[in-house]
Structure 1
Amino acid sequence: MTRFFRSLPVRLACAAVVAAGAQAPLQAQTPTYPTKPIQLIVPFSVGGDADQSARNLQTLAQQLLGQPVLVVNKPGASGAIGSQLVRDAAPDGYTLLMARTGPQAILPALQPKSLGYKWNEFTFIGMLDLNPVVCVVNVDSPHKSIADLTKALIDKPGKLSYSTSGPATTQSLAPQLLLSLLGLKPDAALNVPYKGGGEVTMAVISKEVDFACNNFSSLAGQINGGKLRALLTTTPKRLEKHPDIPTAREAGYPQLEAVLGWSALYGPPKMDPVAVKRWTAVLKQLSEDPKWIAGNATFGGIPSVMSAADTEKFVSDSYATYQALVQKTGMEIK
């Protein structure tokens, strides 16, 4: 018995060493995230709403995470190239996507057979901000309100025109949805394509087209300068700096709220829950940060941080609206 108790300290020490050895591999397998720089893929070029939203997120997120957040622009195919890159990335949380309306909701509805991903084949982390879409006419236009414009569309089908920068854009979907709500055919107004949002706006100013529905950030200067008249905004509430612009709901077309620019944070499918949890905490802190909130104002973004579940519901509703519109109008791209 004495011999046993004399050897007990040695036995306990050996047991502690064995236990520590058993725990070491487990700890090595679950390091604290993040331990290296994170890539934030923006599926559009530098300078647009998506890029500005990403850089606004980057500034404060890397301070909270303690690791660099690198904004990487991967434009092409209306945002599909950058989106596909994240869809196929390792789910370790080091490659994330600045998700946008076009590539994440409109393209999946327009190209359900040829697109390499579906709207819900990502890990939803959270919504960041909303980008108003505003429908405008030239300040000299006889259409003083959305009621005037819709009456003209009904009375003179095929006579009015609108500008867009391609089919997979809110600029195209908003007028098409409006025509559908009016019970009109897709060709009841002429779609005139341009290369970008700036040209879409200038087409209305130069009176090449009768109206356009564009991101507010591309219109604000011209509205403020008295060259354009805003008829409605697709945001649920009136714009803080332009309270005179009625909402789509107030105008009698609440369905147009689905045509809204937005930025959200996505990850690859089945992303590491530890990384998701860390980013969820970051977004909560951002939502209360005055600098991040103020940063949104520089590109016309409306802070609107949502949970992963609410983000998925929001995008699901948006996708369903576009899908129904595509089926009704036959706009599907093969």
Structure 2
Amino acid sequence: MKTSLCKAMALLLATVAFGAAAQDYPSRPLRLVVPFAPGGGADFVARAIAAPLSKRLGQPVVVDNKPGGGATLGADIVAKAPADGYTLLYTTPGPQMANPYLMAKLPYDPTRDLVAVTEVAIVPNVLVVNKDLPVRTLKEFIDYARANPGKVNFASAGQGASSHLAGELFKQSAGVSIVHIPYRGTGPALTDLLSGQVQMAIDSIAVYKPHIDSGALRALGVATAKRSPLLPDVPPIADELKGFEAAPVNYISVPRNTPQAAIERLNREINAVLQTQELKDQLAAGGVIPQGGTPEEMAALVRSEAMKWKKVIEVSGARIE
């Protein structure tokens, strides 16, 4: 009881102190932790927003890549950072929506230790097949997979990766028996997909578009509810499988107990950045759709997506050791 009271008093004092200095926030550089290696999709978007966000906040926003543990390493760093508005997590579904069901134990509480600031973007995926597979539409592919159970392989960037879970969702939605082949990253998966060692994948449009354009891969459906401007002739998978959506959401969160004034300022400035035409054009070139919204909307999305992927993971039996 005494310990809880002390914690409550410390939080109150910190909140009062922050409130007094709120008009000066931020007064020093901010750290934007990206729990992935440099050069990937999340890193690309994080760096794209960091520069204009720095200008709006009047302080540097420093991108800090902390890959490892399926994004749990970076998430844990932020979860345990001071709740002062100066440490942010640029994240994808793993830390709060998927890893709690993929891993036996996490070093942080995924429902309590990270608080949503705003949705940033959606990274659209596309279902592709090797050009030599005798199918030209999604329906033909589903029929082919049903007629050849266990003979079609799908590639992913690794066990528990969004491309893995998207494939498992497809299996369950289409009622097909296809075999998951995990790789150590999208690059090796793409190599075997192009050579025909595996027949299918659901991953980033930006990664696959050059090979779709060259004819090496055939796009059968995008994993968003609407068509993508990058692939306007490719229908959504949802046209064939009602309600299907598997486009990783990217968002920003902060440690719990971060003062509301800091969250509101960050939300306001990030949303303003996402509305600029320059950033929209920059993200569109990478196949990314900017989003935005309130902290409450993002928190609700975390909860709903967590339940969605929990079901997919439980049915598939997917695990990360």
Q: Same fold (TM over 0.5)?
A: yes
Contact 1:132 1:235 in 2 (8 A): yes
Q: Does the 8 A contact of 2:165 with 2:313 survive in 1?
A: no
1:39 is aligned to 2:31: yes
Q: Say which SS state the counterpart of residue 219 (structure 1) adopts.
A: helix
Q: How far 1:314 moved relative to its partner?
A: 1.9
CA distance in 2, matches of 1:142, 1:212: 16
* Aligned-partner Cα distance in 2 for 1:211–1:298: 24
**CA distance, structure 1, for counterparts of residue 179 and residue 38 of structure 2:** 30
Going from structure 1 to structure 2, the CA distance change for 1:308 and 1:80 (only over 3 Å counts) comes to same
Q: 2:72 aligned with 1:80, yes or no?
A: yes
Specify whether residues 173 and 68 from structure 1 end up closer, same or farther in structure 2 by C-alpha distance, changes over 3 A only.
same
Matched, 1:71 2:58: no
- The reply to whether residue 287 of structure 1 matches residue 287 of structure 2 is no
TM-score of the pair, normalised by structure 1: 0.86
Q: C-alpha separation between the residues in 2 aligned to 1:96 and 1:308?
A: 14
Q: 1:182 to 1:30 in 2, by over 3 A?
A: closer
The counterpart of 2:155, out of the listed 134, 149, 163, is 163
| One-letter code aligned to 2:143 | K
Note the C-alpha offset of 1:284.
Answer: 2.6
1:116 maps onto 2:107 in alignment: yes
Q: How many residues align?
A: 304
Secondary structure class of the residue paired with 1:224: helix
Tell me, yes or no, if the aligned pair for 1:106 and 1:169 is still in contact at 8 Å.
no
CA distance in 2 between partners of 1:87 and 1:171 (Å): 26
CA distance in 2, matches of 1:123, 1:215: 27
Distance across 2 between alignment mates of 1:304 and 1:99: 14
Aligned to 2:8: none
Take 1:49 and 1:299, find their aligned partners in 2: how far apart are those partners?
8
Q: Residues 281 and 148 of structure 1: is their aligned pair in 2 closer, same or farther, counting only changes over 3 Å?
A: same
**In 2, Cα distance between equivalents of 1:30 and 1:164:** 45
Deviation at 1:27, TM superposition (A): 8.0
d(CA) in 2 for partners of 1:26, 1:140: 61
- Farther-moved stretch of structure 1 (195-204 vs 90-99): 195-204
1:18-167 map, 5 Å:
30=22, 32-111=24-103, 113-121=104-112, 122-167=114-159
Gaps of 5+ in 2: 1-16
Question: Is residue 311 of structure 2 the alignment partner of residue 324 of structure 1?
Answer: yes
C-alpha distance in 2 between matches for 1:265 and 1:26: 21
- Check 1:28–1:241 CA distance in 2 against 1; reply closer, same or farther (3 A cut): closer
> After the TM superposition, which parts of structure 1 deviate over 3 Å for at least 4 consecutive aligned residues?
25-31
Question: How far apart are 1:36 and its partner, in Å?
Answer: 0.3
State whether residues 232 and 251 of structure 1, in contact with CA within 8 Å, keep that contact through their aligned partners in structure 2.
no
Identify the residue that residue 189 of structure 2 maps to in structure 1: 200
Larger Rg: 1
Q: Percent identity?
A: 28
Q: State the match for 2:5 in structure 1.
A: none
Unaligned runs of 5+ in 1: 1-24
Q: CA deviation at 1:211?
A: 0.7
Which digits, 9 at most, give the CA deviation of each residue in 1:184-210, with x for residues without a partner?
A: 5xxx22222222112222221110111
The Cα of 1:54 is off from its aligned counterpart by: 0.7
